[in-house]
Structure 1
């Protein structure tokens, strides 16, 4: 059975899997706010979010995300995802390690007119860094 996911999430994930954050312009409202646990700022604009994710794509150019589960209820969408990739680019101050990683995350979106207006996201940053041997 194929998992049915929302159109906006499909556009976002397909872009990420091609190494680009351009899908954000279609998936997120221009005034959207993204809250990510552990991010430098607790309330990111869409452009700040794109910059943060682009850094991850630079560190893991082969990053591949998969939506494992998605539940829609009213204007809320919950998504569980898994990412795999190889650390072949710089990650902040950390030089490439060549190490493969696998990490998971959870998202809760509030969606209006098919676009995310607010996102709460948590993912296993510590587990990813442990796999790279940097913590």
Structure 2
């Protein structure tokens, strides 16, 4: 079961960039996702697709690569890396053309082959620094 759960989570993270319909297949209707970058939890497959769309629209060639996974029971911990070029507006930030690389960790719970709950923690600050929305620590020190 643990190996199957890891594959489900991997597909949701990696394959969704080519086919957002994967969310309808893998995410439960009662899914709740928590991300400290968001003011409210993500709910259901449509909520996951809406959240995903803001990033897929903003980053050309965006993709996620799963780096490590550990599974126990109904839980999967995943370390991932995301890449893309900022070519569209993101949360009011105009496109910069900058390449980004961010890392993140997700803890995902599954039931009956569907993702039901997820906690994401990723380098939002690093992404904002890489697209120039906020200064990096080095840039701030030179001011």
User: Under a length normalisation based on structure 1, what TM-score does the superposition of the two structures give?
Assistant: 0.89
- Aligned partners of 2:110 and 2:116 also within 8 Å: yes
Stretches of structure 2 lacking an aligned partner (at least 5 in a row): 135-143
**Higher share in helix:** 2
Pair 1:5–1:75, CA change in 2 (3 A): closer
Match of 1:11 in 2: 11
Q: CA deviation at 1:26?
A: 1.4
Q: Distance in 2 between matches of 1:27 and 1:69?
A: 20
Please report how far the alpha carbon of residue 5 of structure 1 lies from its aligned counterpart in structure 2 after TM superposition.
7.5
Which consecutive unaligned segments of at least 5 residues does structure 1 have?
none
CA contact (8 A) 2:85 2:98 kept: yes
Structure 1: which 4+ aligned runs deviate by more than 3 Å?
none
Could you say which residue in structure 1 is the equivalent of 2:49?
A: 50
Q: Secondary structure at the match of 1:63?
A: strand
Name the CA shift for 1:99/1:5 in 2 (closer, same or farther; >3 Å). farther
Contact 1:8–1:26 under 8 Å retained in 2: no
Return the offset for 1:59.
0.4
1:28 Cα deviation after fit: 1.0
Within 5 A, what are the aligned runs for 1:1-135?
6-12=6-12, 13-16=14-17, 18=18, 20-41=19-40, 43-46=41-44, 47-135=46-134
Give the number of equivalent residue pairs. Answer: 129
Counterpart of 1:61 in 2: which secondary structure? strand
Q: CA RMSD in A?
A: 1.5
2 CA distance for matches of 1:40 and 1:56? 16
Q: Is the 8 A contact 2:108 2:119 kept in 1?
A: yes
